[in-house]
Chain A
Amino acid sequence: MTSVTVSNKEISGKQLGIMLLALIGLLIAGGMAVNNLLVEGHAAYNTDNLGLFWGFPIVIYDYFLLTSTGLAMVASMALIFGGEEYRPIIRRALWLALAGLLGGVAVLMMELGHPLRALWAIPFSFAFSSPLYWKVMAVSFYVISLLILQVRMLKADWRMQDLRINAMVTLVLALGVTAIAGVVYGSQSFRPFWASGDIPVAFIFESLLGGLAFVFFFTYLAYAFNPAAVPESVKRLFNDRLANLLALAIFIHLLFVLARMSSGLYGNAEGLQVWQTLATSPLFFAEIIIGLLLPLVLLMYPGTRTSPWAQILASLLVMNALLISRYEYIIGGQLVPLFKGSWAPELLSYAPSPTEWLLLLVAIFLSNAVNAFGEVTLRLGREG
């Protein structure tokens, strides 16, 4: 018991270190990004009026938002169906969901033309025909629901059955936010690269995959990547059910990506030619082979599936693959310019600007700072 207490203190110290590092990183990256935006304005981003309207900031925002809803789905499903063996990951996943969302929304605010106006103009517009209106409303209620769950879990002796109604509401909202995020793209019928009725479902599975990968990675991070410090209850969960679930989620996500690619390569509609370029790009191969297939093998192969380092590596690779996947989907849908004639090339080219890369760092540092703050002050791992 004494050794565990000492270990907890050490871990708290390391989390404090992570928080400080993240805050310093946030100050530097955020400061540089804000400076660039003040000097250059929106031109600091590599978007344009030829067709690439939503760039890397939107990719980052959606990535963090969908990761957040994925974490909330994992935690709330664990609360509703899971049973006590999932207890060690629930509070951490819920707090991480808030931290990730904060990182994503911060980036969105730096992308919008009038971020402060958005705070009142969207809720009071009652623009029921707009998926974005519903997305913002759903996200607002989702945050409230997450906060209520967190507050109710502050008591050391919280019981799963007491939180089931809360968890159901959170699950419905998380599913809603994710599905609406899919509708934002899937409803654009004249952009065949995006448009498909199954996009909201694909987003939900992608989100779940992100949630599971983040649970693995940030749980190990909470124990400073020291497998010896990880409680037995967590190890049991990771080596058995969660490893299976992560592998299954990778497989389903792979199916969605490969199915979209196959239809895209054979399809003839204007806009699908993006797949010809995408499917031969090194980034796509990295995503499929290194980001998804390799983790799948690591989690299926008996010799590696219970190895903490293999699990850390698999989750890290999946986290990166999902960012690439989001990037390819959002940017790919805009690469064929609409009605620009010879003023635009047949396929637009896009690479994030330095300021856009800084926004990724802003989201990462902010989310990590908030997460580490939770680890230190809320003792998210106490159930382990």
Chain B
Amino acid sequence: MAKWGMVIDLDKCTGCQACTTACAMENNRLPGENWQDVLFYHEGTYPNVKLMWFPRPCMHCENPSCVSVCPTKATYKDPDGGFVLMDYNKCIGCKYCQVACPYGVRFYVDEKAVVQPDIRGVFPSETGRQWDPPYKGPQDDPSRGIGIQPHGVVSKCTFCYHKVSKAPKGVADLDEDIPELKEYVPACVRVCAPKARFFGDLDQPNSNVNKMIADKRGVRLKDETGNKPQVYYLSGGATASVPSLRSMSDSDKG
């Protein structure tokens, strides 16, 4: 059994948002509702402003709070691969998983559009789905949260389950530079131009991701929550730092 995980090297990430765009294309995300996003933060006031960015996919936690709070088991931990997935057929749209996720990576599908015009109205669906985009991926598996979402459910990043789950058994790392494996690499990892993202099996001691976590002292975001993310950040040994909104506001006050 693999336990897929991601490593993101913050020293290499340029904040180009190619990962966000690739995810949006791969998974038909609505504009502004990005399963994968690069968040920008600023501290200070002009001319002493510091701009920072932080890539943030779903953490596919080992001990996910979203899974434990779901009253219908619609969101679950896939035993073969460690993905945290959604079963749209069971979701009742109570949004408790959204409330319980410390990383803000879940999206209720029927909220107001973030970007106007509402593209769902431009390409309406006649099959009960949220919308019918002119291009959409051929994969459709509502029991794993793959494909265009139906109404009234919560959606989230699947770690590109539809690609990763087809990888040859026993592979330690899914590297886009290896031609025979590149089709199985998650979209956000595959397009990362500065090669800041890596994807591999955390259960294989010799996998490249495990070596990087050990060598560069990889850290997990908000580890104090006990969620145990399967996404690790490399930041030169420092904590993966996201400025708190409180510190932003304090420094803005000067």
Residues of A within 8 A of B (CB): 41-43, 47-49, 51, 53-54, 112-115, 117-118, 121-122, 125-127, 129-133, 136, 184, 188-190, 268, 270, 273, 334, 336-343, 346-347
Q: Considering the complex, give the chain A residue whose CB is closest to the CB of B226.
A: A189
Q: Which residue of A lies closest to B32 (CB)?
A: A343
Q: Is the CB of B103 within 8 A of A336?
A: no
Complex CA distance for A133 and B68, rounded to whole angstroms? 10
A341 & B40 in contact (Cβ 8 Å cutoff): yes
- The residue on A at minimum CB distance from B100 is A188
A339 near B105 with CB under 8 A, answer yes
Check if B71 is an interface residue, CB within 8 A of chain A. Answer: yes
Expressed in whole angstroms, the minimum distance between the Cβ of B8 and any Cβ of chain A is 14
Cross-chain contact A342 with B39 (CB below 8 angstroms) = yes
Residues of A within 8 A of B68 (CB): 129-130
Q: Which of B67, B92, B110 contacts A122 (CB 8 A)?
A: B92
B110 touches A43 (CB 8 A): yes
Most buried by B among A54, A190, A343, A346: A190
Is B217 interfacial (CB-CB < 8 Å)?
Answer: no
Chain B residues contacting A117 (CB-CB under 8 Å) are 72, 90, 92
17 of the cross-chain contacts (CB-CB < 8 Å) are A43-B110, A43-B113, A48-B111, A53-B98, A54-B99, A113-B153, A114-B152, A118-B94, A121-B72, A122-B71, A129-B69, A131-B69, A190-B225, A270-B245, A270-B246, A337-B104, A343-B37
For residue B112, CB closer than 8 A to chain A, the reply is: yes
With A118-B94, A188-B99 known to touch, is A113 a contact of B108 (CB < 8 Å)? yes
Q: Within the complex, what minimum Cβ distance (angstroms) separates A54 from chain B?
A: 6
| Bound: A315/B101 CA distance, A | 38
- The residues of B that contact A270 with a CB separation of less than 8 Å are 244-246
With known contacts A341-B39, A342-B39, A112–B93 Cβ distance under 8 A: yes
Residue of B with least CB distance to A135: B71
B73 lies within 8 A of chain A by Cβ: yes
User: Which residue of B104, B105, B112 is within 8 Å of A43 (Cβ)?
Assistant: B112
Interface size class of B (residues with CB under 8 A): 35 or more
Q: Are A341 and B54 in contact (CB under 8 A)?
A: yes
How many angstroms from the CA of A131 to the CA of B70 in the assembled complex?
A: 9
Residue of chain A at shortest CB distance from B245: A346
A42 to B102: give the CA distance in the assembly, Å: 24
Contact B104 A339 (CB under 8 A): yes
> Assuming the A-B contacts A43-B112, A343-B39, are A273 and B249 also in contact, with contact meaning beta carbons closer than 8 angstroms in the complex?
yes
**With contact pairs A42-B111, A43-B110, A112-B92 given, residues A49 and B33 touching in the complex (Cβ less than 8 Å):** yes
Judge whether A113 and B110 touch: CB under 8 Å: yes
Which residues on the B side are within 8 Å of A115 (C-beta)? Answer: 92
Residues of the A chain whose Cβ atoms lie less than 8 Å from the Cβ of B190:
none
Instruction: Name the contact of A127 in the complex, choosing from B72, B98, B242 (C-beta under 8 A).
Output: B72
What 13 new A-B contacts, CB under 8 Å, besides A121-B74, A125-B72, A268-B246? A54-B99, A112-B92, A113-B93, A114-B92, A114-B153, A115-B92, A117-B72, A130-B96, A131-B69, A336-B245, A342-B42, A343-B37, A346-B248
**Residue of A with least CB distance to B71:** A132
Tell me which residues across on chain B come within 8 A of A132, comparing CB atoms: 69, 71, 94, 96
Q: Which residues of B contact A54 (CB under 8 A)?
A: 95, 99
CB contacts (< 8 Å) of B108 on chain A: these are: 42, 47, 49, 53, 113
A334 touches B99 (CB 8 A): yes
A112 and B151 alpha carbons, distance in the complex (Å): 11
A contact residues around B93 at 8 Å (CB)? 112-114
Task: Assess whether B225 is in contact with A189, with CB atoms less than 8 Å apart.
Answer: yes
Asked if A339 contacts B95 (CB within 8 A), the reply is: no
Chain A CB within 8 A of B222 CB: yes
A53 to B95, Cβ gap below 8 A? Answer: yes
